[in-house]
Chains A and B, each alone.
Chain A
Amino acid sequence: MTEATIENRAVPTVSVPRLRFTQRYGWVIPLLLGALVLLAMLASLCIGAYPLRFGRAAQIVMRLAWPFPMPANPPWNIKELTVVQIIRLPRVLLATLAGIGLGMSGTALQGMMRNPLVGPDIVGVTSGAAFGGVLAMLFDWPPAGIIALAFLGGMVAMFCTFSLAKLARGESNSMILILAGVFIGAFFLAAAGLVQYIAPDSVTRTITYWLLGTFVGADQQKVWMIAIPTLFGGSMLMTLRWRLNLLSLGDLDAKTLGINVGMLRWSIIALVSLIVASQVAVSGIIGWVGLVVPHCARMLVGPDHRRLLPTAAMLGGLFVLGLDDITRSVVKAELPVGVLTALIGTPVICILFWKTQSKGWEHE
Chain B
Amino acid sequence: MNSNVVHFEDLGHAYRPSRWVFQNYNATVKRGSTFALLGPNGCGKTTLLKIMLGALKPTKGTIKVEGRMAFVPQLFHVTFDYSVLDMVLMGRAKHVGVFSQPSAADEEAAMASLERFGITNLAHRPFHELSGGQRQLVIFARALVSEADILILDEPTSALDLKNQIVVLDWITRLSHQDGLTVLFTTHHPHHALAVADEVLLMLGKKSFAYGESGDVLTEENLHTLYGVDLKLLPFEHKGLHHETLVPVLPHLDREASRSAERFKIRA
Direct A–B contact in complex, judged by CB atoms less than 8 Å apart: yes
Q: Which residues of A contact B (CB under 8 A)?
A: 15, 17-20, 23, 111, 114-116, 239-243, 245-246, 248-250, 252-253, 255-259, 298, 302-304, 306, 360-364
Smallest CB gap from B120: residue in A: A17
Question: Considering residues B50, B79, B82, B91, which has the most beta carbons from chain A within 10 angstroms of its beta carbon?
Answer: B79
Binds A, one of B9-17, B70-78, B195-203, B211-219: B70-78
CB distance from B121 to the nearest CB of A (A): 4
Q: Which of B69, B120, B124, B128 contacts A256 (CB 8 A)?
A: B69
Distance, CA A214 to CA B70, complexed state (A): 50
- A18 close to B71 (CB less than 8 A): no
Besides A18-B124, A250-B77, 12 new A-B residue pairs in contact (Cβ under 8 A), listed by A number: A23-B83, A239-B99, A245-B82, A248-B78, A248-B80, A249-B78, A249-B90, A253-B71, A256-B69, A256-B71, A298-B80, A363-B128
CB distance from B156 to the nearest CB of A (A): 15
- B79 close to A114 (CB less than 8 A): yes
- A257 close to B79 (CB less than 8 A): no
Q: Cβ of B81 < 8 Å from any Cβ of A?
A: yes
**For residue A241, which residues in chain B have a CB less than 8 angstroms away from its CB?**
101
Quick one: which of B95-152 are within 8 Å of A by CB? 96, 98-102, 120-124, 128, 146, 152
Q: Given A248-B79, A304-B86, A361-B79, are A253 and B73 also a contact pair (CB < 8 Å)?
A: yes
Q: Cβ of B93 < 8 Å from any Cβ of A?
A: yes
Distance, CA A364 to CA B73, complexed state (A): 14
**For residue A362, which residues in chain B have a CB less than 8 angstroms away from its CB?**
77, 79
Q: Cβ of B257 < 8 Å from any Cβ of A?
A: no
Distance, CA A114 to CA B82, complexed state (A): 13
- A256 close to B55 (CB less than 8 A): yes
Q: Which of B71, B78, B122, B123 contacts A363 (CB 8 A)?
A: B78
Distance, CA A364 to CA B128, complexed state (A): 9
Q: Cβ of B160 < 8 Å from any Cβ of A?
A: no
**For residue B124, which residues in chain A have a CB less than 8 angstroms away from its CB?**
17-20, 23
- B121 close to A17 (CB less than 8 A): yes
**For residue A255, which residues in chain B have a CB less than 8 angstroms away from its CB?**
53-55
Cross-chain pairs A/B with CB under 8 angstroms, 8 sampled? A17-B124, A116-B80, A240-B99, A243-B98, A255-B53, A298-B80, A361-B80, A363-B128
**For residue A20, which residues in chain B have a CB less than 8 angstroms away from its CB?**
83, 124
Q: Which of B73, B79, B94, B123 contacts A252 (CB 8 A)?
A: B73
- A364 close to B77 (CB less than 8 A): yes
CB distance from A236 to the nearest CB of B (A): 8
Q: Which of A111, A243, A252 contacts B53 (CB 8 A)?
A: A252
CB distance from A258 to the nearest CB of B (A): 4
Q: Which of A23, A116, A302, A363 contacts B77 (CB 8 A)?
A: A363
